[in-house]
Amino acid sequence: MMETKQKKYTSLGQVMIRECKRLVSRPLYLFCMVIAPMFCYIFFTTLMGSGLPTDLPIGAVDLDNSSTSRSILRNLDAFEQTNIVARYESFDDARIAMQRGDIYGFFFIPEDLASKAISGRQPRISFYTNNSYLIAGSLLFKDMKMMSELAGGALSRATLYAKGATEEQAIAILQPIVIDTHPLNNPWLNYSVYLCNTLVPGILMILIFMTTVYSIGVEIKDRTAREWLRLGNNSIYISLAGKLIPQTIVFFVMSIFYNTYLYGYLHFPCNSGILPMIFASLLLVLASQACGVVMIGTFPTLRLGLSFASLWGVISFSISGFSFPVMAMHPVLQGLSNLFPLRHYFLIYVDQALNGYSMVYSWTNYMALLLFIILPFAVMQRLKRALIYYKYMP
């Protein structure tokens, strides 16, 4: 009894040593496990380093050229997110500049703005945003709408002052109700916080999918699967554990690295403390590896297994709902989204790091990730058969 147990441990150790040798023997593994994730961590955080885009280029068409119109444009230019880079003679010129990609929007002031406004003939200004670039368009929309409101307000205020109103009275008449906005836990509207917290683990997840599928599938392809099984005491569990544990360690280290990088170095909001996030990352790593095993277990052809991994991995980014909310998707997709580990990780992140809620509130998502981890047991025997009998076909 003792002996068989001992034998199991030694064979587990031998498979692990064999796997470590395999991992260092090919630069491909180094690339997928270390270089590619590291590159993406740095890429996404530096790409969106500014957090919220500022000084987005817009144009102005000022057909009035009065002191009123100039002051409107000057004020608009002073907004943090807008930067008037050019003035155009006509609407068409501005439109063409937009099609050329020089500007993301423009502000149009018609002739006789000042004279019409003073004489109470209600002039009409307009602004155009290019919403083919949704983020830029939305940000500019906010500023230009505000400016348009203020333009009318400035005129009324002048009238009110003339009638003898104090500043406080004037403001109360012009804007009786104001909206006081509180974007919870991301008051800077930082896009890097909003996106990187899911993009970065997502990239790691897709690479775990790929590496797991590849490292198992390539044994079938190179006809080393039997040797691998034999070393693992002919037990699929020992062989698989021996293969995956070294990878788990590397990926877990990579996930600790991004956690410390995001929350420790870049100081992204982490209201739960870093430990729950590291725990969630560990679950994500294990769940992704389990998914990888299921993928190659269901499609023991390397090519199909990897195609499955690519499909699941790439779709994860859209369906996890961190950019386009799941609640706005088709009900079928809302159900399907539960089959993606990244979706659960995202919800855990929102509850823990972003909002600082207790872990109890996201227990369903922790459970879901745990369920992913036991999923491979369903395909174990199929995988073992594939390892023994399957022949690689290109």
Partner 1 sequence: MKEATFKDKISEGIHDLFYIWKREFQTTFRDQGVLIFFILVPLMYPLIYGFIYTNEVVREVPVIVVDDTHSSLSREFIRKVDATADVEIKTYCSNMEEAKQLMKERKAYGLIYVPSNFSKDIALGRQTKVSIYCDMSGLLYYKGILLSATAVSLDMNKNIKISRAGNTTNRQDEITAHPIEYDNVALFNPQNGFAAFLIPAVLILLIQQTLLLGIGLSAGTAREHNRFKDLVPINRHYNGTLRIVMGKGLSYFMVYSIISVYVLCVVPRIFSLNQIGHPDALILFMLPYLAACIFFAMTASIAIRNRETCMLIFVFTSVPLLFISGISWPRAAIPPFWKYVSYIFPSTFGINGFVRINNMGASLNEISTEYKALWIQAGVYFLTTCWVYRWQILRSRKHVLDRYREMKAKQQLSSREITD
DSSP 258-281: HHIIIIIIS----TT-HHHHHHHH
Is position 354 an interface residue for partner 1 (rule: CB under 8 A)? yes
Of positions 112, 149, 167, 227, contacts partner 1 by CB under 8 A: 149
- Comparing CB distances to partner 1, the nearer of 4 and 132 is 132
- Smallest distance from partner 1 to CB 384, Å: 22
- Comparing CB distances to partner 1, the nearer of 11 and 288 is 288
Tell me the two tokens of residue 358. 């207790």
Q: Which helix (H) or strand (E) holds 153?
A: helix 134-162
Tell me the two tokens of residue 380. 């174990």
Is position 113 an interface residue for partner 1 (rule: CB under 8 A)? yes
- Smallest distance from partner 1 to CB 131, Å: 4
Give the whole-angstrom CA distance, residue 43 versus residue 39. Answer: 6
Of 229, 280, 218, 284, give the one whose Cα is nearest residue 251.
Answer: 284
Applying CB under 8 A, the span of 121-129, 235-243, 291-299, 370-378 interacting with partner 1 comes to 121-129
Is position 93 an interface residue for partner 1 (rule: CB under 8 A)? no
Give the whole-angstrom CA distance, residue 301 versus residue 139. Answer: 47
Is position 185 an interface residue for partner 1 (rule: CB under 8 A)? yes
> Residues in contact with partner 1, total (CB under 8 A)?
115
Assign residue 273 a region (left: φ > 0; alpha: ψ between -120 and 50; beta: otherwise): left
* Site residues (CB under 8 A) for partner 1, limited to 193-232: 194, 199, 202-203, 206-207, 210-211, 214, 217-218, 221
Tell me the two tokens of residue 91. 């609407």
The residues, ordered by sequence, that sit 6+ positions from 159 with a Cβ below 8 Å of its Cβ are none
- Binding characters for partner 1, 33-72, by CB under 8 A (x = yes): ---x---x--xx-xxxxx--xxxxx---------------
Of 205, 187, 193, 207, give the one whose Cα is nearest residue 320.
Answer: 205
* Site residues (CB under 8 A) for partner 1, limited to 224-283: none
Residue carrying the six token digits 């002191």: 67
Report residue 104: phi and psi, to 5°.
-100, -5
Is position 127 an interface residue for partner 1 (rule: CB under 8 A)? yes
Is position 133 an interface residue for partner 1 (rule: CB under 8 A)? yes
Of positions 17, 172, 266, 388, contacts partner 1 by CB under 8 A: 172
Of positions 4, 67, 100, 162, contacts partner 1 by CB under 8 A: 100
